[in-house]
Chains A and B, each alone.
Chain A
Amino acid sequence: MSGSSSIVAMKKIVQQLRLEAGINRVKVSQAAADLQQFCLQNAQQDPLLTGMSSSNNPFRPQKVCSFL
């Protein structure tokens, strides 16, 4: 009966919503501060951010050595 199958579907939706409504959340200010801290802590180890020198980056053209 289509009536009972849509009830089953609705029950699933309600169950899912109950689950999602019940989770613990932190304030955006706290979450944002943590994201920022992670960025800053790892900034030095980020080659694309710091623009590491050609000698360390395997994809950048190597400096040419010349004999004097």
Chain B
Amino acid sequence: MRLIVPLQGVVQGRGGLILGSLIPCALFYFLQFYLKRHRSPPRNPPSPSSSAANLSELPRSSSRANLTTRGSIGLVHVSARAKAVAAPNDSPYYIGLDRVREDPYDEMSNPDGVIQLGLAENRLSLDLIEDWLSKNLTGSILGVGGNGLGLSGIATYQPMDGLMEFKVAMADFMTEVMGRTVSFDPSRVVLTSGATPALEILSFCLADQGNAFLVPAPYYPGFDRDMRWRTGVDLIPVHCRSCDNFTLSITALEQSFNQARKRGQKVRGILISNPSNPVGNLLNRDMLYDLLDFARERNIHIISDEIFAGSKYGNEEFVSMAEIVDSEEADKDRVHIIYGMSKDFSVPGFRVGVIYSFNENVLAASRKLTRFSSVSTPTQQLLVSVLSDKRFTQEYIKMNKQRMRSTYDLFVAGLKELGIECTKSSAGLYCWVDMSRLISPYNEKGELDLWDKLLNIAKINVTPGSACHCIEPGWFRFCFTTLNEKEIPIVMERIRKVVESCKPPM
């Protein structure tokens, strides 16, 4: 279509309608012809078993990277989707995580290992949960012994979208953690094995292949995987800038929407993270209302990823999208919220995510789709027990915030001493750090050089802004909730070494 429209514009000027329709048709025909000729022919079946051994087989241990480029070898039988997914991680986000996995820092056993600041993981308050478990956990949590239902109560097939008691517990927890300004309804909760599948399911529900979502950038690198890998849906970054403290502007959103429309790409919704990742901003009430208006005017959806809602250490108020639509009569069914227990409650290993939607059709579809990503029942039972202790959850939320606050303060102060500034953030498990003065050249390459130095010389894994689609080079996400107080000076010392060598030329 893109070819035809401008072509007709040209042709209509001279030659009229006939040429205007003939030429595009001819081009189209030639395009088809070209494609047919270049479509790869069906692979020849290997000859029967006796000569199968003669087929040159790449030794399995050789680098997988070779396999992706040499597509004609008989080994490559998997789908294009699989090939793309199997390809070695080329994003610094994933490379960094792999490096930590290979060489993790440990105070005792591996003091020279890589310190993890690239994974938004909260290790500050796990002891509180561990403590609770040691006092309260008995065999009966598994429904075994005592007055439990027995194993048949939890081992058997349960509703794929979660036990009712767990939905109630999660709805209550979400209400509590978001400040009790809005009440979450258990019947709108669909449970998934983590926020990752929650987002993918929504992507499948709200968009067809080739459609797009607008997403404020910089954004969490995992969105590219969650929203795009298997769905065929596209993400269009809407760039935010340091001069605005990386807050979203509706004007920029509008521009991106219009550009997409001109390209013929259908935008189905906006994906926001609030609190935002990687910047740590909170979207204020006005902005949320503006977003809802924007979505309404264009008849699109809003997915609000609120997974960090309880990880707030600043004084700004957190406003959930649920609160906004609570006060609106109409238009609830374009709003969908993602939540999970991986951040606020520090249990990413247990795989608990939530789709919360006001749209009955989305809920109905999600309930069915979550069969591919359901939550383990003993885990549901365990969390029902913990979360039913409201006194504990309130205490946990409070203590967690305090600890985050003090760690954040120490961390930011440490960076300041090195002459490094962060944006003023209020939530999330990380800070958004400005190292633009230290990169050379002032572009993505310079940023990645610094990232490399930090990873391989300073041996700290941080996430470079380019991995988050940040349009300004030199910004990095540093997660601080993986550290205890003792480790902060160690981190700062390591950063100092690299920073010294990067001082900008006079």
* A and B interact: no
Q: Enumerate chain A interface residues (CB-CB to B < 8 A).
A: none
Q: Enumerate chain B interface residues (CB-CB to A < 8 A).
A: none
